[in-house]
Amino acid sequence: MNPKSFDVVVVGAGNAGLCAALAAREGGARVLVLEAAPETERGGNSRFTAGAMRVVYRGIDDLRELIPDLTDADIARTDFGAYTESDFLDDMGRITEYRSDPDLVELLVRRSFDTLRWMKSKGVRFAPMYGRQAFKVGDRMRFWGGLTVEAWGGGPGLIDLLMQAIGRERIEIWYGARALRLIADDTGVHGVVVRRERSAIDVTAAAVVLASGGFEANAEWRARYLGPGWDLAKVRGTRFNTGGGIAMALEIGASPYGNWSGCHAVGWDRNAPEFGDLAVGDGYQKHSYPFGIMVNAAGKRFVDEGADFRNYTYAKYGRVILAQPQQFAWQIFDSKVAHLLRDEYRIKQVTKVRADTLEALAAKLDDVDGPALLREIAAFNAAVRKDIAFDPTVRDGRCTQGLAVDKSNWANTLDAPPFDAYAVTCGITFTFGGLRIDTGGRVQSVDGEPVARLYAAGELVGGLFYFNYPGGTGLTSGAVFGRIAGTSAARQALESSKAHAR
Ligand SMILES: Cc1cc2nc3c(=O)[nH]c(=O)nc-3n(C[C@H](O)[C@H](O)[C@H](O)COP(=O)(O)OP(=O)(O)OC[C@H]3O[C@@H](n4cnc5c(N)ncnc54)[C@H](O)[C@@H]3O)c2cc1C
């Protein structure tokens, strides 16, 4: 066989692309994966993650199937609860304001458990996400946010184990190989033009799967589609997701779909680098704001930090921070909640100040109107409903009353020194707009027909997320739609080869 000809070419070696490649191989296809990054930076955004995966489980028996090494001691000390299909469907509906594509959401939800089980069959391992998704209540651990499972070893572990599976299946990967454009004519797609070792080469294929991420790492596209100011956001993950896969599909008539002006963006260390740092992973994020307050340069609170559990607000609050003067905020906590702060607050690369009085703290916060901040905290403390008990494992209703911006849950007075403050800006995770696919992973054209032999999965699929996002859904979506796209692409390739043989 011509070495530059494959049954299926997958563009992008993140979680979605690797799942697509494994599924295509399982379907009997000869597969090539193209990856723009060098091997040292492999894994895309997926490698930067904590590996959190939102999955339907009916109870402990389902969890045991995904996590066979769950011990009896863990089970005895933990309230895992359940996360049903209707919980997941409701979360997707509520969080996206009922905009998301019902067919795609249904697939995502209903295939989630089976897809993780399939990943496990390929060698991926899972663990309960105690560190970030459970709190101790009395002598028991309680999961609170519908997000119980993480890939073993987080994002790096997920990518390593998927890569081991790719190796076992003898799937070829070219690193430093950027797909430039699709080879296509009126009858559909026939391959990809790839830049590798400084020259462009044609790779032909019976089917192509695009899994090359969104356009979050492209400052020009961010300003163009997300709006003014988005060029100033920091990129949380890979520098390689610049919208190339989306552009090459649109160029041959694919339909744009979804929330093109929307994205997932969070509070991220104000002094973090322009792109993600693999040594730090997701550590620049600062996600414990529900237990403190956030203030801007004017010393004012600007958002309801306790509107909902962190899993349901963090992805939209980056946008709110970006809209503040000078695009920053300080998160402030007192010692009463210090034990609740996530691991990322204790990394070395953190922009943090500490003081024993609020006056001393206010004087130390860069770029903040100190006197205004002290007035804001005094008003906040006076407005806290101290008669309602604080409980981080439920929406406790411990709110403030009468403020311009009230806090709905987990409101505590700031009065127990030492006081800690952390400076954040907006970190963009991934973009929501992308390509339109059908339930077989086939990319749809602007005319409403499938683009023959073109499939897509992962971040560059539009129509799933609007305005906001329930934590842990990106990896599950990449896996579910990657597997679907890979399976369909292999089927297409085998049909094509049968047709040639006839
Ligand atoms: C810091 C951080 C933490 C996160 N935490 C979580 C979490 O815990 N749980 C969760 O579900 N989601 C999380 N996410 C979101 C999650 O990373 C994404 O939803 C998911 O990884 C997307 O997978 P993907 O395969 O579509 O894209 P990616 O993993 O980004 O893979 C895309 C690949 O395509 C390559 N590529 C791009 N252009 C080209 C081209 N032209 N040719 C060839 N290759 C190309 C890129 O180099 C990249 O390797 C997090 C994201 C970040 C940045």
Look at residue 468 and tell me whether its pLDDT is greater than 90: yes
**16 CB near ligand 1 (under 6 Å):** yes
pLDDT-derived band at 132 (thresholds 50, 70, 90) equals confident
Question: What mean pLDDT do residues 77-88 have?
Answer: 94
Question: What mean pLDDT do residues 303-321 have?
Answer: 96
Dihedral of alpha carbons 218, 220, 225, 227, sign: positive
**282 CB near ligand 1 (under 6 Å):** yes
In angstroms, the CA 6 to CA 493 distance is: 9
Cα-to-centroid distance, 177 and ligand 1 (Å): 17
In angstroms, the CA 113 to CA 109 distance is: 8
Look at residue 2 and tell me whether its pLDDT is greater than 80: no
Query: E strands, 407-465, where?
Result: 419-431, 434-435, 442-444, 450-456
Q: Which residue has the tokens 């992962």?
A: 458
Look at residue 484 and tell me whether its pLDDT is greater than 90: yes
* pLDDT above 70: percentage of residues in the chain: 99
Query: At a CB cut-off of 8 Å and minimum separation 6, what does 243 contact?
Result: 214, 215, 218, 221, 431
Q: Is residue 144 classed as helix, strand or coil in its secondary structure?
A: coil
Q: Are 310 and 135 in contact (CB under 8 A)?
A: no
Question: What mean pLDDT do residues 275-296 have?
Answer: 97
Cα-to-centroid distance, 223 and ligand 1 (Å): 20
**10 CB near ligand 1 (under 6 Å):** no
Cα-to-centroid distance, 11 and ligand 1 (Å): 12
Q: Whose CA is nearest to atom 13 of ligand 1?
A: 49
Question: What mean pLDDT do residues 384-405 have?
Answer: 96
**459 CB near ligand 1 (under 6 Å):** yes
pLDDT at 149: 96
Query: At a CB cut-off of 8 Å and minimum separation 6, what does 406 contact?
Result: 304, 383, 399, 400
pLDDT at 3: 59
Ligand 1 atom at minimal distance to the Cα of residue 47? 29
**461 CB near ligand 1 (under 6 Å):** no
Structure tokens at 29: 């296809």
Cα-to-centroid distance, 292 and ligand 1 (Å): 30
**129 CB near ligand 1 (under 6 Å):** no
Q: Are 325 and 296 in contact (CB under 8 A)?
A: yes
More confidently predicted of 4 and 450 = 450
Look at residue 502 and tell me whether its pLDDT is greater than 90: no
Bond preceding residue 371 cis, omega within 30 of 0: no
**236 CB near ligand 1 (under 6 Å):** yes
Of 470, 417, 194, which Cα lies nearest the Cα of 309? 470
Structure tokens at 14: 């993140």
Burial class of residue 209, CB neighbours in 10 A (0-12, 13-18, 19+): buried
